[in-house]
């Protein structure tokens, strides 16, 4: 029993201590500040690797990708990609080369077949290629020396802007240059099937349901039609535009064309060779046309003059809500996985999260951005996506549009149903994504500057990393837990690491080392040291690549130790209204970096004295009216003390003080120290010496025999500027008899003295 009693007593003591600690902690003012990252503008400030950021502020794994070829010789740009069976054909500039990639080998089939060579896949192979180039002192972006004999007969002025396959699966390629022609390839051999007159460029090739071939050309904006065999060429339409940049064949039997210089979308009837304008865009170039599976025509309208960089997804409207759509299988299925939520914390949220609820931005003005337009069969047009980038190419995959852009070499996906846009690929070396082709589960991309062939898979990358921008606590802070709102399917994983520092430079070597990765299955305590700035790193993993974690929001807590509040300013001013004569307004402004509740105490003292006299305590307002008539005249100073005691314990509360500039309390009117009256017949001369203890003499008026019209006068030195002034008042033409001269003397604060003088004129 004694043992049981001892245990009970010990338990009671521990319980009491815990309750005391909890109560003490609950009363602390220092509350956590929560920084939330939940919008694309927040998240895009961070760095991504195999991660995509959605326009609605989501993070997920990007598609797995590889670079089959990144070593094209004398190639600046891949302009077109055609996939036929397991073979990828690539049309390039500036030397008009056509390449075939198949079974890991790259072969040049135009202008002359070259020996086959394996496409470098391993880093070691790439290093050998680069070393060889360096040894030859040769830049792949420079044309070959015409005086040097080469393996291929290079045509330095030729470009392959457009390719397609005919009804028989044979490759068609438009050779642009001084000798423009349409070629057909079979077994790596080609034949010229059409040489249009007055044409230098073939920008677009499309095939209709009957197999007929259509060419969009320049520089005179002509459209040609050939039979499925490549014969019977005819001029289908001669436009007034400079170039026809894009073509699309509709199931309705019409041909649709996009022009350069006026940005028109034409609808052309091949049976009558007539055309109507379907849409006149505000952008000068229609670079791509595409019919999607739902039957709508989509047009990419752009301008090559766009150079101004703007925030990605600038037209996204966070407050507009979102359409109701079916959830994605890979994104929303958490069967057997985790569904994490962030605790609903009232207040204490940093300004970073305010961007999520900011007013919707207006879309960029026409001419300042490129647009994707959706055109219905009836000709109604809506824009579904715009971005401050140059739009080069357009494709469709799984009911989403793929848009290749420059000058940041980004590939966007646009989902018209959910109104979401995502950057699913960004090339850090290239400047533009100039070609895109979808083949079953893969997407082939062509880049420019430098030229590379990229292969995107439909499966997700096995691992991706998101590294946040710096989070600023304002002061050295203790960093708390990181929480995420996320769906983590089975077989997927999210881990977090963090670091901290006191310099607003993400590359500063004084930052702490990254902590070891910790799996996020609940709120995770960040282990980084005390510091003003914190950075977190999220690592997303997928075991089989079929699903990805979806993170919708990240919240990071920080706590700044209690800091003393600061009085930033104190001012004391006299209230000018007559009803409150002699009263002062004491105003003050205070700041507390912890956001604590502040209260104020006001003291005053006469200058020259040491002790302060309390005027008011426990004030919550930021001003107070003081009746100066309750103290004697003199020079005073006012002290304001602020305390965060209502948000802290008696041990942790802190104060801050500030003293005002001296203020004069003067409720006494001026006095006449000396005066004299001199008579000369009908003239009276009144001389006055006037003084005030604290304030300058402001005005002196006089009147004779209670005349309501007071007359003003000036000091003898003609300036009101001191506390002592001399006046000489001369009054003439007085009638004989008794008279009364009255004077009214006012100091600069409005205190008034009246005095009368009796005189007798003989």
Least confident of 65-69, 261-265, 304-308, 563-567: 304-308
Structure tokens at 760: 């007798």
Cβ burial of 108 (10 Å; 0-12, 13-18, 19+) is buried
723: domain range? Answer: 671-761
Residue 179 or residue 316, greater confidence: 179
The DSSP annotation for 119-139 comes to: PP-SHHHHHHHHHHHHHHT--
Average the pLDDT over 509-517 and give the result.
96
Residue from 175, 206, 169, 166 nearest 109 by CA: 175
Dihedral in degrees, nearest 10, Cα atoms 606, 610, 611, 613: 20
Task: Name the domain boundary from 559, 590, 625.
Answer: 559
Q: Quick check: 559 and 45 in contact, CB under 8 A?
A: no
Residue 310 or residue 679, greater confidence: 679
20 within a domain of the structure (yes/no) = no
Reduced to 3 states, what is the DSSP secondary structure of residue 389?
Answer: coil
Residue 699 shares a structural domain with residue 638: no
- DSSP E strands in 560-633: the ranges are 566-574, 583-591, 599-606, 613-619, 623-627
pLDDT digits (tens, 9 = 90+) for 46-61: 999 999 888 788 999 9
345 within a domain of the structure (yes/no) = no
Residue from 652, 472, 657, 656 nearest 562 by CA: 652
- Give the dihedral sign, CA 502/508/510/514: positive
CA atoms within 13 A on the CB side of 756: 9
**Cα(357)–Cα(421) distance, rounded to whole angstroms?**
19
**Cα(625)–Cα(573) distance, rounded to whole angstroms?**
10
**Cα(640)–Cα(619) distance, rounded to whole angstroms?**
10
% of residues, the chain, pLDDT over 90 = 66
Considering the entire predicted model, what is its pTM? 0.64
> What pLDDT is stored for residue 419 in this prediction?
77
**Cα(673)–Cα(682) distance, rounded to whole angstroms?**
26
CB atoms within 10 A of CB 81: 24
Residue from 712, 691, 687 nearest 700 by CA: 712
Residue 731 shares a structural domain with residue 621: no
Residue 657 shares a structural domain with residue 690: no
Look up residue 13 and give its DSSP letter: H
245 within a domain of the structure (yes/no) = yes
Nearest 5°: phi and psi at 578?
A: -65, -35
Q: Quick check: 679 and 759 in contact, CB under 8 A?
A: yes
**Cα(158)–Cα(143) distance, rounded to whole angstroms?**
12
Helix, strand, coil share (%) of the chain residues, nearest 5: 10, 50, 40
The DSSP annotation for 199-219 comes to: --EEEEEEE-TT--EEEEEES
473 within a domain of the structure (yes/no) = yes
Structure tokens at 581: 């004569």
Nearest 5°: phi and psi at 193?
A: -110, -10
Residue 173 shares a structural domain with residue 271: yes
Residue 64 or residue 121, greater confidence: 64
Residue 599 shares a structural domain with residue 639: yes
Q: Quick check: 223 and 209 in contact, CB under 8 A?
A: no
CA atoms within 13 A on the CB side of 374: 17
Rounded to an integer, what is the distance from CA 411 to the centroid of its chain?
A: 20
**Cα(247)–Cα(226) distance, rounded to whole angstroms?**
14
Q: Quick check: 98 and 110 in contact, CB under 8 A?
A: yes
CATH number at residue 696: 2.60.40.650
Task: Name the domain boundary from 408, 438, 460.
Answer: 460
CA atoms within 13 A on the CB side of 171: 28
**Cα(289)–Cα(245) distance, rounded to whole angstroms?**
9
Does 602 have pLDDT greater than 80?
yes
329 within a domain of the structure (yes/no) = no
372 within a domain of the structure (yes/no) = no
Structure tokens at 749: 């604060």
**Cα(629)–Cα(665) distance, rounded to whole angstroms?**
8
CB atoms within 10 A of CB 382: 11
Task: Name the domain boundary from 504, 525, 559.
Answer: 559
Q: Which residues contact 89 (CB under 8 A, 6 or more apart)?
A: 81, 82, 83, 98, 99, 100, 101, 163, 171, 173
Q: Quick check: 98 and 75 in contact, CB under 8 A?
A: no
407 within a domain of the structure (yes/no) = yes
- Give the dihedral sign, CA 448/422/372/307: negative
Residue 487 shares a structural domain with residue 605: no
> What pLDDT is stored for residue 29 in this prediction?
52
Rounded to an integer, what is the distance from CA 761 to the centroid of its chain?
A: 88
Per-residue burial over 561-596, b if 16 or more Cβ lie within 10 Å, else e, is ebbebebeebebebbeeeeeebbbebbbebebebbb
- The count of structural domains within the chain is 4
**Cα(500)–Cα(519) distance, rounded to whole angstroms?**
19
CATH number at residue 649: 2.60.40.10
Look up residue 749 and give its DSSP letter: T
Q: Quick check: 638 and 667 in contact, CB under 8 A?
A: no
pLDDT digits (tens, 9 = 90+) for 219-261: 999 999 999 999 999 999 999 999 999 999 999 999 999 999 9
Residue 283 shares a structural domain with residue 183: yes
Residue 232 shares a structural domain with residue 256: yes
Least confident of 290-294, 360-364, 369-373, 436-440: 360-364
Structure tokens at 1: 């029993």
**Cα(230)–Cα(631) distance, rounded to whole angstroms?**
108
Residue 531 or residue 421, greater confidence: 531
Residue 632 shares a structural domain with residue 685: no
Look up residue 662 and give its DSSP letter: P
pLDDT digits (tens, 9 = 90+) for 617-632: 999 999 999 999 999 9
Average the pLDDT over 379-393 and give the result.
92
CB atoms within 10 A of CB 149: 6
> What pLDDT is stored for residue 323 in this prediction?
54
361 within a domain of the structure (yes/no) = no
CATH number at residue 133: 2.130.10.10
pLDDT, averaged across the chain: 84
Structure tokens at 620: 């919550």
Does 349 have pLDDT greater than 80?
no
Residue 44 shares a structural domain with residue 77: no
Q: Quick check: 216 and 244 in contact, CB under 8 A?
A: yes
Q: Which residues contact 210 (CB under 8 A, 6 or more apart)?
A: 228
> What pLDDT is stored for residue 344 in this prediction?
73
Token look-up 């019977």 returns 232
pLDDT digits (tens, 9 = 90+) for 179-226: 999 999 988 789 999 999 889 999 999 999 999 999 999 999 999 999
pLDDT digits (tens, 9 = 90+) for 684-722: 999 999 999 999 999 999 999 999 999 999 999 999 999
Reduced to 3 states, what is the DSSP secondary structure of residue 17?
Answer: helix
Maximum pairwise Cα distance, the chain: 141
> What pLDDT is stored for residue 305 in this prediction?
65
**Cα(394)–Cα(524) distance, rounded to whole angstroms?**
42
Q: Quick check: 567 and 588 in contact, CB under 8 A?
A: yes
Straight-line distance from the first to the last Cα atom of the chain, in angstroms, rounded to the nearest whole number: 122
Does 313 have pLDDT greater than 50?
no
The DSSP annotation for 321-374 comes to: -----PPPHHHH--TTSEEE------S-B-GGGGGGGSPPPPPPPTTSSEEEEE
In what side-by-side order are the strands of the sheet with 159-165?
159-165, 171-176, 181-186, 189-194
Residue 48 shares a structural domain with residue 102: no
Q: Left if phi > 0, otherwise alpha if psi is -120 to 50, otherwise beta: which for 8?
A: alpha
Residue 644 shares a structural domain with residue 696: no
Structure tokens at 599: 């209260």
**Cα(268)–Cα(225) distance, rounded to whole angstroms?**
12
Does 439 have pLDDT greater than 80?
yes
Does 117 have pLDDT greater than 50?
no
> What pLDDT is stored for residue 208 in this prediction?
96
% of residues, the chain, pLDDT over 70 = 83
CA atoms within 13 A on the CB side of 526: 30
**Cα(294)–Cα(83) distance, rounded to whole angstroms?**
23
């Amino acid at each position: 029993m004694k043992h049981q009693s001892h245990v009970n007593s010990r338990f009671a003591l521990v319980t009491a201590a815990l309750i005391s600690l909890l109560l003490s902690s609950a009363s602390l003012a220092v509350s956590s500040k929560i920084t939330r990252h939940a919008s694309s503008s927040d998240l895009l400030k961070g760095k991504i690797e195999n991660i995509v950021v959605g326009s609605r502020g989501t993070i997920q794994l990007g598609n797995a990708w590889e670079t089959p070829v990144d070593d094209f010789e004398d190639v600046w740009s891949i302009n077109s990609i055609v996939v036929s069976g397991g073979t990828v054909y690539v049309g390039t500039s500036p030397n008009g080369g056509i390449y075939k990639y198949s079974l890991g080998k790259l072969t040049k089939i135009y202008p002359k077949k070259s020996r086959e060579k394996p496409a470098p896949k391993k880093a070691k192979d790439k290093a050998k290629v680069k070393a060889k180039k360096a040894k030859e002192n040769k830049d792949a972006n420079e044309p070959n020396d015409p005086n040097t004999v080469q393996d291929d007969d290079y045509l330095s002025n030729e470009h392959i802007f457009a390719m397609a396959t005919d009804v028989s699966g044979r490759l068609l390629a438009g050779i642009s240059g001084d000798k423009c022609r349409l070629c057909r390839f079979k077994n790596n051999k080609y034949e010229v099937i059409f040489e249009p007159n007055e044409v230098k460029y073939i920008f677009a090739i499309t095939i209709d349901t009957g197999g007929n071939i259509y060419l969009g050309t320049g520089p005179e904006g002509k459209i040609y039609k050939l039979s499925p065999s490549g014969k019977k060429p005819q001029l289908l339409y001669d436009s007034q535009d400079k170039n026809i940049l894009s073509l699309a064949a509709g199931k309705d039997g019409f041909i649709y064309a996009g022009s350069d210089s006026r940005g028109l979308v034409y609808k052309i009837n091949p049976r009558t060779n007539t055309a109507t304008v379907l849409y006149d865009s505000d952008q000068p170039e229609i670079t791509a046309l595409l019919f999607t599976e739902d039957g709508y025509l989509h047009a990419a309208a752009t301008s090559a003059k766009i150079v101004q960089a703007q925030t990605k997804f600038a037209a996204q409207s966070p407050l507009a809500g979102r359409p109701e759509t079916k959830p994605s299988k890979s994104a929303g299925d958490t069967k057997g996985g985790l569904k994490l939520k962030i605790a609903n914390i009232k207040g204490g949220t940093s300004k970073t999260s305010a961007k999520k609820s900011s007013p919707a931005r207006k879309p960029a003005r026409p001419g300042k951005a490129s647009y994707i337009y959706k055109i219905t069969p009836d000709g109604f047009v809506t824009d579904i996506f715009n971005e401050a980038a140059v739009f080069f190419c357009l494709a469709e995959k799984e009911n989403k549009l793929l848009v290749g852009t420059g000058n940041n070499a980004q590939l966007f996906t646009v989902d018209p149903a959910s109104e979401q846009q995502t950057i699913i690929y960004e090339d850090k070396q290239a400047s533009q994504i100039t070609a895109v082709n979808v083949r079953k589960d893969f997407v082939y991309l062509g880049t420019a500057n430098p030229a590379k062939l990229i292969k995107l898979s439909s499966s997700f990358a096995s691992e991706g990393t998101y590294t946040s921008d710096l989070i600023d606590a304002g002061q050295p802070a203790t960093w708390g837990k990181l929480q995420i709102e996320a769906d983590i399917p089975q077989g997927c994983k999210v881990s977090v690491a963090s670091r901290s520092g006191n310099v607003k430079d993400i590359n500063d070597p004084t930052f702490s080392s990254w902590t070891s990765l910790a799996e996020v299955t609940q709120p995770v305590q960040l282990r980084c040291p005390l510091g003003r700035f914190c950075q977190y790193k999220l690592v997303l993993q997928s075991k089989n690549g079929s699903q990805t974690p979806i993170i919708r929001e990240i919240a990071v807590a920080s706590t700044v130790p209690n800091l003393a509040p600061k009085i930033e300013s104190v001012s004391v001013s006299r209230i000018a209204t007559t009803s409150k004569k002699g009263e002062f307004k004491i105003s003050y402004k205070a700041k507390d970096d912890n956001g604590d509740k502040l209260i104020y105490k006001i003291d005053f003292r006469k200058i020259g004295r040491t002790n302060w006299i309390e005027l008011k305590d426990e004030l919550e307002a930021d001003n107070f009216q003081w009746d100066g008539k309750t103290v004697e005249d003199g020079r005073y100073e006012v002290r304001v003390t602020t305390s965060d005691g209502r948000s802290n314990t008696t041990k942790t509360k802190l104060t801050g003080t500030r003293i005002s500039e001296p203020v004069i309390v003067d409720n006494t009117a001026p006095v006449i120290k000396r005066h004299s009256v001199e008579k000369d017949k009908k003239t009276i001369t009144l001389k006055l010496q006037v003084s005030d203890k604290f304030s300058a003499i402001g005005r002196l008026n006089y009147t004779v025999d209670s005349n309501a019209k007071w007359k003003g006068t000036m000091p003898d030195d003609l300036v009101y500027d001191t506390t002592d002034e001399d006046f000489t008042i001369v009054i003439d033409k007085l009638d004989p008899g008794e008279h009364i001269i009255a004077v009214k003397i006012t100091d600069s604060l409005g205190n008034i003295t009246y005095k009368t003088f009796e005189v007798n004129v003989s």
